[in-house]
Structure 1
């Protein structure tokens, strides 16, 4: 199966570079391009795009605003001339971050990474990779990878997840499980809005929240901050707006 890509950039020259690179990648199908990010969002939301190549600095809708609206529907590779936005992009678990001018070899590595993730085989439980959903006859759960084994964690037992650089700690009703999965990968595997990312370092189970005060969430005796990037979405989900 080809990797279906869509490119969005308000600079036509930048789109032409992407088109030229895409023609040289046999497993990549560029299904469309646009200079209009709103039209691009509507196109991607149709659900037949695997990866978006997305500029950040656009007039009508910035790339970061686009990511908020996209809500993880497909993989995203950011393309920009501004390296200072890299950390903001990774808050949304983007697949890669390409700096303009984009060389072909760097473009190829980015799309290869997304293609590898999209075509990675799903192993049967209990040998499933971290983040695999539960079997149909069992409770909703994850299988998370620790240093020596895969650990089954039922969704209902999770209070919150705290992320580090290359790992995450799943905090349950009875234990803390140090996993080798990133927070971004766990966020993709968990159902929304049952679990909501509220900070670059935290995912929270909404049913375990006991109170919210200003920019702080109380879950049991633990206080978790709400990051600036996540305030609007948290308010929308919790407030029902």
Structure 2
């Protein structure tokens, strides 16, 4: 094993399908096969002991499906779904998987998925600059982040952000001046933005607390948009806003 290689875990109950993926991995110098599991329970045990960069995950498996398995993971590696079924694509992308490959998987299509991993990883390696002025109410007037948009790194001042919306593999950052679409996971930005100034209200939305115009138990109004409060986030959102039904 080389330290700089992408550590992959195959989770598939079909030996032939797992063997194809293993062969594909062996052909790419950037990848290293850390292990193979024949079901999600075995994979869960593996992930509790080992750190993995990329999960190649089947869906239809005994005892626990790949989709249900993903829902159990608090912190998950990047995921590429590999399946014979097309029906779960929307649900898979709702869980922020990198790609959805339908068997039989051509090597060229596998390469496309791996390139998505490299693109996502490169975006995450761009650090958020530290505050360069004392913060007032959590956000300095000069605090900014860089977001990759196309071939450029765009400076975005935190004070200008209205909300952030997840668009599968991308996020849209809505500011007072413009929209910026960047190849990034919303969970990454959630971890980097200051908790006292930004709040996750839905699996698809993060809002700037100081930009709230009004709210109720179902929606938050930001600018001219009403953004829904997700069921699983409702209790934390109401607590953060000091609201009791």
Q: Which moved more, 1:59-68 or 1:96-105?
A: 59-68
Q: CA deviation at 1:14?
A: 2.1
CA distance in 2, matches of 1:109, 1:14: 18
Q: CA deviation at 1:143?
A: 1.7
TM norm structure 1: 0.71
1:45–1:19: structure 2 CA closer, same or farther, 3 Å change rule? Answer: same
Structure 2 residue 57 is the aligned partner of structure 1 residue 17: no
What residue in structure 2 maps to residue 134 of structure 1? 129
1:197–1:102: structure 2 CA closer, same or farther, 3 Å change rule? Answer: farther
Query: What SS does structure 2 have at the residue aligned with 1:84?
Result: coil
CA distance in 2, matches of 1:82, 1:111: 20
Q: How does 1:85-234 map to 2 (within 5 A)?
A: 85-118=88-121, 122=125, 132-135=127-130, 141-145=144-148, 150-154=154-158, 158-162=161-165, 169-172=172-175, 175-182=176-183, 184-191=184-191, 194=195, 195-196=199-200, 198-199=202-203, 202-205=204-207, 207=209, 211-213=215-217, 216-220=218-222, 222-226=225-229, 231-232=231-232, 234=233
1:64–1:169: structure 2 CA closer, same or farther, 3 Å change rule? Answer: same
CA distance in 2, matches of 1:58, 1:237: 34
| CA deviation map 1:4-46 (0-9, x unaligned) | 1001123333222222222222221110111221331342354
What residue in structure 1 maps to residue 39 of structure 2? 36
CA distance in 2, matches of 1:102, 1:231: 36
Structure 2 residue 68 is the aligned partner of structure 1 residue 58: no
- Report if the CA contact (8 A) 1:169-1:176 is conserved: no
Structure 2 residue 75 is the aligned partner of structure 1 residue 80: no
User: Which 5+ residue runs of structure 1 have no aligned equivalent?
Assistant: 123-128
CA distance in 1, matches of 2:62, 2:236: 27
- Select the structure of larger CA radius of gyration: 2
The count of aligned residue pairs is 220
Q: Which moved more, 1:15-24 or 1:48-57?
A: 15-24
Q: CA deviation at 1:100?
A: 0.6
1:236–1:164: structure 2 CA closer, same or farther, 3 Å change rule? Answer: same
- Report if the CA contact (8 A) 1:187-1:197 is conserved: no
CA distance in 2, matches of 1:12, 1:93: 26
CA distance in 1, matches of 2:64, 2:160: 38
User: Which 5+ residue runs of structure 2 have no aligned equivalent?
Assistant: 134-138, 240-245
TM norm structure 2: 0.70
CA distance in 2, matches of 1:72, 1:108: 25
- RMSD, aligned α-carbons: 3.6
CA distance in 1, matches of 2:128, 2:50: 21
